[in-house]
Structure 1
Amino acid sequence: MSPRLEDENPDRLYMVTGGRSDVTDDGLDLVTLIVSECEPTPGMQSEHVRILRFCTSPAAVVEIAAELRMPVSVVRILLCDLLDTSRVSARNPRPAPAETTLPDPELLKQVLVGLEKL
């Protein structure tokens, strides 16, 4: 049995998210990069402050969850709060171009043979 993270207390997570348990399609996946767009302000929720301070350089959603020691689902809710107020920006990884093709297998065989002869 793995040890519980300090912030896995269900009551605590309920309070952090304001009772919300899910977000609509936010476009955030585990590798979406988050960047702070401003400094924390007085009176902000402590988790939001921690996210803003951590994301002065781009950080993936999964990295933020690990830093906060909270489930990704909870972190996504917090990030949506910050996105809605433009305090952070999100950048999704670019998909590989559709025109990208794999090298010809015959060419790869020729390269392998050439390397073996060296």
Structure 2
Amino acid sequence: MTERWLDQDAGPIVRPYTVTRGRTRPTSDRFDLIATVVATGPAPPDLPPEHLRVLSVCRRPISVAEAASGAGMAVGVVRVLLGDLFEAGLLTVRTPPAAVTAPREDLLRDVLAGLKTL
């Protein structure tokens, strides 16, 4: 039966569902693909191996997408694990600034007209 859970090239096979304990979303919405994450300190010895792998990739500031690639895991799985690590105080997250859009031209004209009437 153990042969079924071992791939000669890849090693032990662990399903993403098992790694995330059935969760499909992180506990925070801060982990979009370009958010920057960085570990804040040493990893506690009782962390699961997948969490340790993600945390080791985050020793320097890195995007969520790069962390997934470096850990060799799916982005969705890494986002859930990053959420766990964030809640445990083991990493920080810096979200990218929101895109700034210029106001519509007609709105600016209306504001200008309103200011002129004052």
The normalised TM-score by structure 1 is 0.67
Checking the alignment, whether the CA contact within 8 Å between 1:32 and 1:60 is kept in structure 2 is yes
Q: Deviations 1:61-113 (Å, cap 9, x if unpaired)?
A: 000111122111111000000011110000012246668xxxxxxxxxxxxxx
Are residues 1:12 and 2:15 paired? yes
Runs of 4+ off more than 6 Å: none
Q: Which residue of 1 aligns with 2:88?
A: 85
Q: Which amino acid aligns with 2:81?
A: L
Unaligned runs of 5+ in 2: 1-9, 103-118
The normalised TM-score by structure 2 is 0.67
Q: Work out the CA distance in 2 between the residues paired with 1:59 and 1:29.
A: 12
Q: Work out the CA distance in 1 between the residues paired with 2:30 and 2:48.
A: 23
Checking the alignment, whether the CA contact within 8 Å between 1:14 and 1:20 is kept in structure 2 is yes
Describe how 1:1-118 pairs up with structure 2 within 5 A.
12-23=15-26, 25-95=28-98
Identity of aligned residues (%): 36
Q: How many corresponding residue pairs?
A: 92
Unaligned runs of 5+ in 1: 1-5, 100-118
